[in-house]
Every structure is written in C-alpha cells, then in structure tokens.
Structure 1
C-alpha cells in the first residue's frame, strides 16, 4: 500500500468552491426512516449545479492549474457526471476542454455536458466503458501536451469531493452513527472518509458499489487495486474496472465496510424514490440507499446519512429500470413453454394455470415445429413473489413442458 503523505485542505477547498457549488440540503426522509426504524437523512447532491457532486472535484482541480495550463486546455474521461463538472469548470474559467465519453453514454448526459460547456468544450465518444475512454483521453493528453483532469485519482479532485463531508457535519444537528456513500473510482469515498475520520471518528463509514462492478471490494480482498476482467455497465456512473491507487489508500485506511448491491435492487430503489418522494435519481445516485436493507438490524434507532449522488437519468431508461426492478423483486417471470397448436389452448392456459391476479405482459410464438405443439415465450407479472410456486405447480400438473428463463441470465438477455 502506498503511504499518503499529502493532507487534504477541505476548509480551503470549501471557500474556493462557493462561487460554483451549491450547499445542498441534508434532509430527513420520513418514508425511508419509517421503513428502517431509524432516522435517515439524505445529502441531496442530486440538487447540485450539475446534478451530482462531481463539480466539486473538477473545479477544485482546475483552480490549482496555472493560467498557462488553462490556456493549453484540459482533457477528461467520464461516463457523464465528471464530464459535466469539467465542462462547467471550463466555461467558468474560460478554458478549452476535450471530453472523452464511452459510446453507450445516455444521450441525456451528453446533451448536459454540451449545455454546461458551451463553445469551450468538445465531446468525443469512444469505446464501450469508462476505462476505454480514459485510455484514449490520456493518449490525447500526451500527444497534445494538455492537462488530464482525472475523475477520481487525484488529490485535488479528492479534496474537492471532501467538501461534501464538511457540509454534512456543519448541517447535522445530532451525531451521525452511519454514513453510506456510493463508490465507483473512489474519489468521493476517499475525500469524505478522510474528513469524517478527523472530525467524526465515531461514525461508521460504509461504501456501496455495484455488484457487477465491485472494484473496491476486489482491491480490499487483494490488498491492492486490481483490474476486473468484465463489468456490468448498467450503473454507468459507478462502474469502473479498477479503483484508483490514491483513492484505494484513503478507502483502505478510513472505511469501516464495503457493501455491494445488485443492479436490480438499485432499480427497485430508483422507482421507490420516484413514486414515494418524487425524487429522480440515476442508478449511481441510488446506490447508498439500496444498501440499507443489508444493515436493517444494526441501524435501528440510529442516525444515518446517505449521499444521493446524481440525478442525470435518461427517461428512455425507465422501462429497463422497471423491468430490472420487477425481475429482482420476483414479480415478473419469463418462460419458454411447449404449447398445443389448437383453438382454445391459450384460454385453457389462462384459466387453468394463472390466477385472477396474474397478468400476461408478453406472449410470442417463436416457431411452429410440428402440428401438435409450438414453442411460446411468455412473460407473467404477479402480485407476490410466492405466486410463482402456483404457476409452476399448475404447469407441471397439466403436463406443460417449460423452461424458466429467470434462472438463466444469458438466455433471458438473449430472448427478452
């Protein structure tokens, strides 16, 4: 492990950032508090100027550059939120910026970057992941003698993100027992944990990352950052293949625990926030809240703070988010069923297999392989997870041959 010799000057950064950073609210959420029998406060970084905390680190880093360096221009790589922070910083500081983003980046985030940066920036879409974009961005820096603004593995960026912690402790009226924060590359976790360990050492600090991109967990297990071979890119704002070297050292020193959450659980949390509290968050923004169930017993009657990190959600993703949530909650089920090729077969299936509360949401003949039976693909929405048992039991008792697709992720993705 590398030794951290430099200290973060959070107080100075907080003063410097006042002109561009909002002091976001720390709000008690009644619904979530009641659900978990504790007081849950949300640090609303989704209400920040660029809808996430990323402006803090980006602007703090760019303020540290000389006028000559700013004139030369800056480069960054980002899945969206850091790009918006750098774009706004370029606009404010009159610096030219090249913004490298993965090709699958939601259109909404790309448009936001262009809006914040205006004529000062150029967006370059390249590669499939953040790491692909980062490699291209670094090469561009080397070829054009420009400054790379790292999204997380830079002391000035980490220092900027640490101002979130100062605001939380300034706003909190009572001691904070638990702090949950999202982690992708680790910039927020590094900065916030450093400040909390100095000024609120009794607070248990828990980092939360996607199950499909658990680079911090892998680093903790190996006592050093490692590169994941593959990642699930769904939670784009927090899906990186390798945690930063600097950020890992801060995290290893200061974090009490690292939790991972299923992408489906994150989707369920997004919908719950929207339906109950009218809060719109992107997948990375819901990470911290999605982990509360794992701490159910120990957080009872405690003061808990969750950082809500971003609200840059593309409305076109909502159908996928709903689908993932229902699959995770076991409220939607897909089957391949050999179906009789005769009149009344579907009516019989509905009457004999399904209950009055079950709903067919997808029905498709794949092919007619003989005169007697053909394969169908069927999606069924249920009211309660236990309803699945009755459907399977009814199909077996009536001699239907079927494959349950939910248990085969590869086949499910291929067919649905």
Structure 2
C-alpha cells in the first residue's frame, strides 16, 4: 500500500495566535509606497519594510514564536540552530529575551558584520560556532551537536511554528491597507516566509498573486516545483547568503507548490544593481536577499502595470566590505565591466598605443596585470575595462582584433574569472 503523505498547511487561527505572541516583540513594519519604483513600473509599488525590525530582518518572527513555544525542560536543556546570519540574529535576540542558552552554528563564509550582530543580540546567552562553507554544512554540524547534547534544533524555515511566525507578515500587510493587493513579490530561500505569507493570502485574499523570487545561483525551490518533488542542488552560489540553500524545507515545498502562482529567478548581478538603486534612489541599505523581491518586478513589467504591488524588503544586514564586489557585479550585469587577456607587442609604446588608439574616449582601465617577457614577441596582460555605454563593447573588441591586441574574453570563463574579481 502506498504511503499517504500528510501535508501541513498553516491555519489562519494559528497565525493569529503567533501574531499575539509576537506583540511587543516585533515591529509592525511600515508599508510605504515607493514613488520612484511606482513611476518606473507604472503601478503602485509598496515596500513591506522588514529590514526595520530590531534584528533587521523578518526572522525574529519565526524564531521567537518557535523558541517561546518550547517546554520548560526543552528550554532548560538549551537550543541549537544553524544560519547564514538572519535566523541566527533572530534566535540570539529571542534567547536573550527568554533567558535561554543557545549554540549557533554559522558558515565560515558568513560576513563578519552578521557574526558580530549575532553576538551583540545574544550577549552571554549564545555561543557562535563557525562550521562549513555554506548553510547546509553548518546545519549538518549543528544537527550532530544537537543529537549528541540532547538539545532542540531550531530550524530556520522547515518548522510549523517558524512558518506561522513568518506568516504574520502577511497578516500585517492585509491589516495595513484597504486597497486590493494584486501582487506580492516575496524572496525565497528555504521557503519559510513564502510558505507562511502565501497561506495567509490564499485564505484572506485568494485573488492576490504570490510571486516567489529566488537567486539564479541557488534555484532550489524553482527546480523542485518544476520537477514536482523536493530535489537538493549539488552546488550553489553563496553570494545571496540569506537565500542560498541546497534544499528547501519539506513542509515549505508542499505549501509553496500549491500556493505560489509563479517563481522567478533573478541574476546575482541584477540583485546588486537593485541594491545600488535602492541606496541611491530610496536611501535604503539592504542585503542581497532583501533586494530580491524588488528585482523580480522586471519579470512582470507588463503584468503589473496599473496594479497594486507589494515587495517584501526582507533584510538589511549587509556588510559594507562587500560594497566593491556589489558594484563590480552590478557593472558586469549591466554589460559595462569587462575583462580581457590582451596581447601586447614586446616593444616600447605598445601600452600607449592601446590606450590612445584602441580604447574609446570614455573607456576606463580599472584592472591591469602584466609581466614583461623578454623571450617572446608578445606579452599577455589581464585588463579590466569599464565602459560608459554597453554598446561600446563590440567596437572595442573589433579594434582589439584588427590591431592584434585581442587575446581572450574572460567574463564568461568562471574558472579564470574567480581569480580576478
């Protein structure tokens, strides 16, 4: 006999209980209209500002609701969690508020800023352990520790209480506006927020379309929904650290498969451009995962015209040391930053010729690595060039080839490119 799988869907009454439990702990984050993006997309774009929570992300909702629901003996034994940053901060603050000890496992690749914030929020109630190169490896270490020490593992997304806590974001949105919301764009990592929020809307506003947005380098939910079953990814791009997981939650997959109207993948470079635009146009500082929902609007330009749209700005825990990388990725996505192997003749004046006759008047050399080879006719240099207009690329390459400077284009060769940027 085939096993019958019991599928969990959050009940509205349980989400309302979570909202009561979180009263006084979380901020009812504002829902302002963005004048800039409303004009850009010719619709009404509202930001759900979860970046304004005390821990600067929505993760405090699920973490506090879960931890506060534990039995006295479970609280006494202490808890363990794994996180790339935001869940860890939610757990840390919750543990301090509830006077519970916690061991928090974080990937070694976690930005220093996030680690320091976790320690700040948890103070003496938490210890941070750095383990693994991504969330999944940190989680495996945390689960082993949890088993050996008989502690409760607080999952960042695949847990009923976590999902119900995150679902309160949806309750707030519907409470804060009397107009009909046509679309909600929600970032997807492990799926806790998208599962919870979509369940609320399907109950209270079923005609609203819920669009999940996932990073192209970690399409775990997208691939799983497409295949009809939860499928782990073999490799992921960790750049969007708040949403890069190899495997989505089993509970969340079943919910999102039913509730999400669509899920779109956004390029990491496009996310970076959104981060810069939000800073320059809206004076908002967001992390990569926090910019994903807004980045997803570009996939629905025609559909959202004249509609009411909500984007979840999920977090603002961005490390300022990543600014150079964010700018670099944005320029490359915009087709303005390019890397080449340039072959220079081994004679005086070759570089001057390249600058004066090959580069355009507004082109800028931003990277240059060269060692003169006295036993060769030509010496190769790695050159990074920033253009003012994307259409200047083809004429530049044509001039390089016509004058025998062209060696190789590196932007699309990741095995080489990673050593440069």
Query: Is TM > 0.5 for Structure 1 vs Structure 2?
Result: yes
Q: Deviation of residue 371 (structure 1)?
A: 4.5
Deviation at 1:400, TM superposition (A): 2.1
Aligned match for 1:327, one of 327, 332, 342? 332
SS of 2:123 mapped into structure 1:
helix
Q: Which residue of 1 aligns with 2:7?
A: 3
Aligned equivalent of 1:346, options 342, 348, 351: 351
Say which of 97, 118, 136 aligns to 1:92.
Answer: 97
How many residues of Structure 1 are paired with residues of Structure 2 in the alignment?
Answer: 416
Q: How does 1:12-411 map to 2 (within 5 A)?
A: 12-366=17-371, 368=373, 370-411=375-416
For 1:249 and 1:366, the matched residues in 2 are separated by 56
User: Alpha-carbon deviation of 1:15?
Assistant: 1.1
Structure 1 residue 173, shift from structure 2 partner? 3.0
Shift of 1:48: 0.7
Q: Please, what is the CA RMSD of the aligned residues?
A: 1.2
Q: In 1, Cα distance between the equivalents of 2:369 and 2:380?
A: 9
Q: Is residue 366–residue 377 contact of structure 1 (8 Å, CA) maintained in 2?
A: no
Cα deviation for residue 283 of structure 1 reads 0.6
Q: Distance in 2 between matches of 1:130 and 1:68?
A: 28
- In structure 1, stretches of 5+ residues that fail to align are none
Q: Distance in 2 between the 1:406 and 1:171 partners?
A: 45
Q: Is the 8 A contact 1:177 1:304 kept in 2?
A: yes
Report the more deviating stretch, 392-401 or 113-122: 392-401
CA distance in 2, matches of 1:6, 1:180: 20
What CA distance in whole angstroms lies between the structure 1 residues aligned with 2:198 and 2:43? 22
Shift of 1:343: 2.0
**Structure 2 unaligned spans of 5+:** none
* DSSP-derived class of the 1:280 partner: coil
Q: Which of 396-405 and 20-29 deviates more? A: 396-405
More divergent stretch after superposition (268-277 vs 392-401): 392-401
- TM-score normalised by structure 2 residue count: 0.97
Off by >6 Å, runs of 4+ in structure 1: none
Q: Report SS of the residue matched to 1:407.
A: coil
Residue 211 of structure 2 aligns to a residue whose secondary structure is: strand
Q: Under a length normalisation based on structure 1, what TM-score does the superposition of the two structures give?
A: 0.98
| CA displacement, residues 4-58 of structure 1 (integer Å, 9 cap, x when unaligned) | 2663511111111012100110010111111111111000000011000000000
